[in-house]
Amino acid sequence: MRKITKQQLNEIGEWISKNGRPLEVARWSYHFENGSSNEVLECLKAYQNEDGGFGHGLECDSWTPYSSPLTSSVACKIMYEVGFRKSNPIIKNCLNYFKNNYFNIETGTWATIVPENNDYPHAPWWSWTADGNNTWDFNPSIEIAGFMIYWSDKGSREEKLANICFEKAQKHLFESEKMNFHEIWNYTHALILAKAVPEKINLPINLMEKKIIELVLSSVCLESSKWSTAYVAQPIDFIDYINGDSNFIYSHFEDKIKENAEFLVESLQNNGLWDITWDWGNQYPETFEIAKDYWKGVFALEKLIKLKKLGFIEK
């Protein structure tokens, strides 16, 4: 079994330090150089607004400085990823943003796309339209609810909103025969978080996990020829990087996940990074070139976190 060598790992780290954002440099340091989670938190502060939400291009395909639920959920994943299991002022302010912005109590969802996206460089799929679909089912709403229920105080308004979302999301899940893989990731993260605080939620988590397994089968791409050329859901994508040790999907796809990991090791580019498999078309070409390098750093980091957990990096 080939592994990422120490030299390759060092080369990727050097590339990120030269070309990546300070945030990815701090995340890299945390995972591979015994860095501090507080360094990551300090970097995240630059993306947080006074309303508690996050913007400023934290999601590399959307460069609006204004807060959005989607970008704020990215911040939550990063904070959990680097070990913040208890609330802190940054988390509290973020939950307050979720509580006060873009939540539809009838559907139990937060808006996925916000109007401010249109005024700044962004990928085509982040364009807001007055009569368009600006809420993508429970992407990222169920994940937001997972973080809210995990970090909120019992009996709080945040906990109540999260439970409203979970109730609606449960119905949507069991009624779905297929589901976009991004939304499956959202459900995966949310269920892991909910299982950690069973006293705050009363849902059939085990049945929801079984349903997720069925949906993964209909969305995962098992054709290795597409893994480096098309924007598809790869088996390794279903190991969530926020808490892979307790991922309920792994045992069902262990062989394919390991095959995918071996493929990633073999396909590592000469410059020490994996290419991204999408672009912005003809929109904002200059900004996309910057975003592309940011994404390369993000994806290299997140792939390596998974490869490390699977034992595909030399010690």
Q: Is the pLDDT of residue 196 over 70?
A: yes
> Can you tell me the mean pLDDT for 149-168?
97
Q: Are 281 and 125 in contact (CB under 8 A)?
A: no
Residue 155 bridge partners (DSSP): none
pTM exceeds cut of 0.75: yes
Q: Is the pLDDT of residue 20 over 60?
A: yes
Q: Is the pLDDT of residue 243 over 90?
A: no
* Predicted pLDDT of residue 271: 64
* Predicted pLDDT of residue 247: 76
Q: Is the pLDDT of residue 293 over 70?
A: yes
* Predicted pLDDT of residue 246: 63
* Predicted pLDDT of residue 233: 92
> Can you tell me the mean pLDDT for 219-225?
91
Task: Look at residues 89, 75, 85, 80 and name the one whose alpha carbon lies nearest to residue 23.
Answer: 75
* Predicted pLDDT of residue 1: 83
Q: Are 190 and 140 in contact (CB under 8 A)?
A: no
> Can you tell me the mean pLDDT for 108-116?
98
Task: Look at residues 140, 129, 234 and name the one whose alpha carbon lies nearest to residue 186.
Answer: 140
Q: Are 47 and 294 in contact (CB under 8 A)?
A: no
- As given in the structure block, the two tokens for residue 295 are 């994404």
Q: Residues of the chain with pLDDT > 90: what percent? A: 86
* Predicted pLDDT of residue 268: 86
> Can you tell me the mean pLDDT for 163-182?
97
* Predicted pLDDT of residue 229: 87
* Predicted pLDDT of residue 249: 85
Q: Residues of the chain with pLDDT > 70: what percent? A: 97
Q: Are 215 and 178 in contact (CB under 8 A)?
A: yes
Structure confidence at residue 257 as a pLDDT band (50, 70, 90): very high
Residue 252 bridge partners (DSSP): none
The 3-state secondary structure of 62-130 reads: ECCCCCEHHHHHHHHHHHHHCCCCCCCHHHHHHHHHHHHCCEECCCCEECCCCHHHHHCCECHHHCCCC
* Predicted pLDDT of residue 264: 93
* Predicted pLDDT of residue 244: 54
> Can you tell me the mean pLDDT for 74-100?
97
> Can you tell me the mean pLDDT for 5-18?
95
> Can you tell me the mean pLDDT for 123-137?
95
Name residue 312's amino acid: F
Between CA 144 and CA 67 the distance in angstroms is 14
